[in-house]
Chain A
Amino acid sequence: MNAVTTENLNLWFGNQQVLNGITFAVNKGEVVAFLGPSGCGKSTLLRVLGGIIPKITPARVEGKVYLFDSPLEETKAGAIDLMSQEGSLLSWRTALENTQLGMEILGRRNHRNKAQELLQKVGLNGFCQRLPRELSGGMRQRVALAATLITQPELLLMDEPLANLDSLTRESMWQLIEELINQNLIKTALFVTHSIEEAVVLANRIFRMSSCPCRIIEDVPVEIPRPRIKSNGALDPSCLELANYLRAKIRGDQ
């Protein structure tokens, strides 16, 4: 079954075309990275898939989006969740309360234990009662991740989720995300990143995007077995190889 399908998706903000015939199909269970120049329309694409555009951000959208083979508008609440690079935690809620938010919104019960469990899973045991401002940037993104997992969304959208972290923290997050993928806690996921290594380490497929108006110019499968990060923190050599290959290609585009 396809988790996400788009057919000839075009999008304009006023006169500016931002998406240009985006067509792709992502299978259930795949993790896809969008890699492309700044301002090309990656966030815009994610926002369309999340139903944010055109609902709260006006834009002219043409083309079709299907989630699990039904039109986007018909998918049930809770099927999708979104993680951004910052600020998605509510400052007045503790880590635990932030983790529970999605369940409250969906009107589901019995979420306290589950939230605790997830916070433990992302390595934040003992930080449940902390407010976001009492956590480091990396810890906040761990909470944000736990918060998106609690409702077990079929599709997880992540817009540069690790962009604000230092490189060591980011690599520890790669390890965590790989574990969550292996445990099937992260099911189908689409994420945007500017880091070629991140795309190579986390994704099963990488969509290389053109500059604005954005098209998919290459669909690169990543068939490197997991875990791609060794227990000593080193990346699998094939990851580095693929990253170098992609880097050369992206240079060539410019």
Chain B
Amino acid sequence: MKDKRILLPLLTALLLTVGFEIGLELANVSRFILPKPSLVLKALSENWPWIFANLKVTVQEAIVGFGLSLILGVGLALSYLFLPQLEPIIVPLAVAIRNVPFVAIAPILFITLGYGQTPKILIVMIVSFFPIMANTAAGFQSVNKYQLERFTVLRASRWQLFTKLQLPTALPFFATGVDVAASNIIISAIVGELLGTTQGLGFVILMSVSQFRFALLMAAVVVTTVVSILLTWFFQIATRNLFKKWL
């Protein structure tokens, strides 16, 4: 069962690769438009040390940004669970921040924070804290009415209500938030890098475009996709296992 879930997508990917190889060969497509998989593979292996060094930079930004967004998202959800009067301040502010076109404010970010990893981490954070906050908060609100009533009748303390009812109820929602957020962290980091950087996968992409090295570009794209999927999977499986009891 589990083998099938991994094996089938791999097989599909393999078939697609072979299909592209043959198709592009037969149709005689220029390698400046769409390079054949074999060329991409060649570019990948030739440039692997360089790609890998930049990959590490991007993954680092993604994971640090994600970690911070977990703290921020859960922290905000908790803060207005315990201080409901904060909700009308925090939620609209969070929505606003989430919707800021960071492409437009990138120059400000780079001037204030430099061209290093910090602004990218910030962008990852802006993109991923919101689903975590919103889902966790929705989880706190989803407490079963009958259970809440019984806790009230038993005169549970605020802390008991939180630890024994609200928190366990919210865990599956939090896990969903993590899924949604995790699937975007690599992309956000790369978008950040495309706006201005000297390292990371975004830099690899920028360089290969400016030098017309399309096989290298495709290699970077493939690496990005694969790493993004793997990271999403990793966080999904990690939360699933961590919160098994509550899901």
Expressed in whole angstroms, the Cα–Cα distance for A51 and B144 within the complex equals 18
**B146 in complex: contacting residue of A86, A92, A151, A157, CB < 8 Å:** A86
Task: Note all chain A residues with C-beta closer than 8 A to B164.
Answer: 90, 101, 104-105
Interface residues of A in 111-164 (CB under 8 A from B): 151, 157
Interface residues of A in 179-196 (CB under 8 A from B): none
Decide yes or no whether A81 CB sits under 8 A from chain B.
yes
The smallest beta-carbon distance between B193 and chain A, in angstroms, is 41
Task: Note all chain A residues with C-beta closer than 8 A to B146.
Answer: 84, 86-88
Decide yes or no whether B235 CB sits under 8 A from chain A.
no
The smallest beta-carbon distance between B169 and chain A, in angstroms, is 9
Expressed in whole angstroms, the Cα–Cα distance for A161 and B155 within the complex equals 21
Decide yes or no whether B52 CB sits under 8 A from chain A.
no
B165–A90 CB distance below 8 A: yes
B154–A78 CB distance below 8 A: yes
B149–A105 CB distance below 8 A: no
The smallest beta-carbon distance between B244 and chain A, in angstroms, is 10
Decide yes or no whether A50 CB sits under 8 A from chain B.
yes
Expressed in whole angstroms, the Cα–Cα distance for A84 and B146 within the complex equals 7
How many of B's residues come within 8 Å of A, CB to CB?
19
Decide yes or no whether B150 CB sits under 8 A from chain A.
yes
Expressed in whole angstroms, the Cα–Cα distance for A104 and B159 within the complex equals 12
Expressed in whole angstroms, the Cα–Cα distance for A93 and B149 within the complex equals 18
Decide yes or no whether B48 CB sits under 8 A from chain A.
no
Task: Note all chain A residues with C-beta closer than 8 A to B152.
Answer: 50-52, 55-56
Decide yes or no whether A102 CB sits under 8 A from chain B.
yes
Decide yes or no whether B168 CB sits under 8 A from chain A.
yes
The smallest beta-carbon distance between B155 and chain A, in angstroms, is 4
B151–A157 CB distance below 8 A: no
Known: A104-B164, A105-B160. A90 touches B155 (CB 8 A): no
> Quick one: closest B residue to A88, CB to CB?
B146
Interface residues of B in 193-247 (CB under 8 A from A): 245-246
A56–B154 CB distance below 8 A: no
**A88 in complex: contacting residue of B147, B168, B245, CB < 8 Å:** B147
Decide yes or no whether B100 CB sits under 8 A from chain A.
no
Interface residues of A (CB under 8 A from B): 47, 50-52, 55-56, 77-78, 80-82, 84, 86-88, 90, 92, 101-102, 104-106, 151, 157
Please name 5 further chain A to chain B contacts, defined as beta carbons within 8 Å, in addition to the given A82-B150, A90-B164, sorted by A numbering: A51-B152, A51-B153, A56-B149, A92-B246, A105-B154
Q: Pull 12 A–B residue pairs with CB atoms less than 8 Å apart, ordered by A.
A: A50-B152, A50-B153, A51-B152, A52-B149, A52-B152, A56-B152, A78-B154, A84-B150, A88-B150, A105-B154, A105-B160, A106-B154
- 5 closest pairs, A vs B, by CB? A77-B155, A84-B146, A50-B153, A82-B153, A87-B146
